[in-house]
Amino acid sequence: MIPNRARVFFLCFLLVLTAGQLRAEKIKVIVDQDARGPATTDMQSILVFLQSNKFEVLGITTVSGDQWVREETQRTLRLLEIAGRSDVPVIQGAEFPLLNSKEETERWEALYGKLHYKGCWSDFSGNSASTPPAFREGYHDPEVVPTLVEGAPHTKPLDETAAHFIVRMVRQYPGEVTVWAGGPLTNIALALRLDPEVATLAKELVLMGSGMYGDNGGISGGARREFNWWFDPEAVRIVMRSPWKKITITPVDVSIKTKLGPEIMAVIAKANTPVAQYLTKYSPESFMWDELSAAAMIDPSLITGQKQLYVDIDIDHGPNYGETLFWEPDTKVPPYERLATVQFDVDAPKLYDLYIKLMTQPPGNSR
């Protein structure tokens, strides 16, 4: 028999070991992003995941949206080199939305009015030379990858589609993978069409997109026509009607309560690290659209107000195409509508402190 003192010592050792394992356990996450670069909210949210020791980033899947996917993929590979995280795989995803198109958008604008931002369909060639590089490009075709001001990458993406990668990961780690989306939902919709069990196999879906009550943040005035969801509404319909265990949404309503401004940039500029230098050289002032959604996974207390809503999207190809639809939780809705936790208020100073900490830490501290 084990003496009582030895037994107590052994139990204490097991408790300490278990506590250490729990502290070391990381959130497995797929980062799905329309990675406009260099150094936009898209890239900065990727850095939030890479720089935090709370995540095991299984892969970064790219999707056309803010830029064409081939360019985004090259910029993402280069970002990982700069951050010293080329261990994280990059997987190129969908080049086009499921149905929406540049041509249909031009027809829509002729009928209903101009949109002030169209992502990869935009032409920024008229912007001044002082405009940050990410917003100086003229329109180009999807197969074109312009010269990258941040330098061309030396690494390559995986030889796999983003949709197949998502399926493979949720099956490899059932119940453990958070799917995070900072762009259009095309890759995730395609994954669901390949394997409808993706939603039930994943731990949860977290995304930046949609808009509800605000009078700002959308691409045509108010909040409800938000870019990520408008770019591929049919993908949103597929994703939002799938049976995820949990859905968390960062809409533009809360994004516009944040600001990446000169004060934050000045603090980051003092850090002599490759990440800080990249941000200092290329980052524009902006709302912290995607950074907030990523950071709230690290520290949920950043979100000071949220509510449950049924959330969907208008896919009628008329004046309301791509607008967010939402209902209060006590509304009688069809069984295919899903409740989501929607964030509406933020502790902005706390967000800024966390962002500065992550973007200025020495290389390798996230591992």
pLDDT tops 60 at residue 202: yes
- What average pLDDT is seen over the chain? 94
Using the predicted structure, report yes or no on whether residue 6 has a pLDDT greater than 70. no
**Dihedral sign, Cα of residue 341, residue 345, residue 348, residue 349:** negative
- Per-residue burial over 163-195, b if 16 or more Cβ lie within 10 Å, else e, is bbbbbbbbeeeeebbbbbbbbbbbbbbbbbeeb
pLDDT tens digits, 77-114: 999 999 999 999 999 999 999 999 999 999 999 999 99
Q: What was the pLDDT predicted at 362?
A: 87
- Mean predicted confidence (pLDDT) in 123-133: 94
Asked if residue 5 has pLDDT above 70, the reply is no
Q: Please name each of the domains of the chain with its CATH number.
A: 28-360 (3.90.245.10)
- pLDDT score recorded for residue 18: 46
Q: What are phi and psi of 57, to 5 degrees?
A: -80, 110
Which one is predicted more confidently, 367 or 139? 139
- CA nearest neighbour of 59 among 164, 175, 185: 164
pLDDT in tens, 210-257: 999 999 999 998 999 999 999 999 999 999 999 999 999 999 999 999
Angle value at C-alpha 198, between 197 and 201, nearest 5 degrees: 80
- Structure confidence at residue 330 (pLDDT): 97
Question: Helices (DSSP H) in the chain: which residue ranges?
Answer: 4-24, 41-51, 69-83, 102-112, 162-172, 186-194, 198-201, 227-231, 233-240, 252-255, 262-269, 274-282, 289-298, 348-360
Structure tokens at 123: 């032409």
Give the helix/strand (H/E) hosting 25.
none
Q: Is the pLDDT of residue 4 over 80?
A: no
Pick 362 or 347 by higher pLDDT: 347
Pairing of strands 90-92, 55-62: parallel
Q: Which two tokens stand for residue 50?
A: 């890479």
**255-265 pLDDT per residue, tens:** 999 999 999 99
